Amino acid sequence: MIEAKDEGTDWYRVFAYLLGPPSKERFSRLALPEFQEAVGGLWCGPGGAREPDHASMFESFEEYEACYIALFDVSVPEPPVPLLESCYKRTVPPQQTLLEITCFYDVINLKTDMSINSPDHLVTQLEFAASVRYLQENSGSDSQRQILCRLERDFLDRHLLAWIPAALARLRKLGPPVFPMLFELLLQFLHSRIDELGGPPSPPASQGDA
């Protein structure tokens, strides 16, 4: 399970794992009796401001899988809570959002496989942020580290923090087990990470509808 108080934990990858596509392995971890206790520690780990709402749990893998698909993957014209940033920016063409995100990825030569996930998918964005942070921590140059810190901060400002609040608002209205809590934890972590990175904020991005 999650070592919540381990300062070396890569929280980006933790959330990418927890919010990734349904699998029996992922469900078995979420369903552990220790999960609620681990969540409390995880909340302290990223520096959350308050304890998240209590999370009920799915009774079976089949219920978990069906809920994930119904929420995030399948519906007409789109799922209730798509995990794609472009779905939340109604005034911006999707191609423009994808182009800007791809430009961020190109800075560290990160290539995405469209057959697996779109560049604006939540998991892809979290993996990019994790890669940038890893490069920061292993950079031998202060100037390079500062550039990477600015890259991470700008990406969080312009992309993840531009649509995660709207996705969380939708989840709160629908009230499924577990997922609203995980998104709330993710949002608090992103804000705490922005504080750690410091520096002036980027110009505010337009918020998606809730």
DSSP per residue, 112-174:
--TTT--TTBHHHHHHHHHHHHHHHHT-S-HHHHHHHHHHHHHHIIIIIHHHHHHHHHHHHHH
Q: Give the mean pLDDT of the chain.
A: 84
Please say if the pLDDT value at position 194 is more than 80: yes
More reliable by pLDDT, 176 or 51 = 176
pLDDT band at 34 (very low <50, low <70, confident <90, very high): confident
52 in Cβ contact with 181 (< 8 Å)? yes
Please say if the pLDDT value at position 190 is more than 90: yes
pLDDT value, residue 36: 59
Range in 9-13, 27-31, 72-76, 101-105 the model is least confident about: 72-76
Please give the CATH number for the structural domain made up of 11-197: 1.10.3480.10
Please say if the pLDDT value at position 54 is more than 80: no
Q: What is the pTM of this model?
A: 0.85
Distance of CA 48 to the CA centre of its chain: 15
pLDDT band at 67 (very low <50, low <70, confident <90, very high): very high
Please say if the pLDDT value at position 204 is more than 70: no
pLDDT band at 203 (very low <50, low <70, confident <90, very high): very low
pLDDT value, residue 205: 41
Most confident of 44-53, 147-156, 181-190, 197-206: 147-156
Mean of pLDDT values over 129-156: 94
Domain boundaries, the chain: 11-197
| Nearest-angstrom CA–CA distance, 181 and 61 | 18
pLDDT digit string, tens, across residues 85-130: 999 998 889 999 999 999 999 999 988 877 678 999 999 999 999 9
pLDDT value, residue 5: 46
- Integer-rounded Cα Rg, in Å, for the chain is 17
60 in Cβ contact with 32 (< 8 Å)? no
pLDDT digit string, tens, across residues 15-28: 999 999 999 999 98
Range in 54-63, 117-126, 162-171 the model is least confident about: 54-63
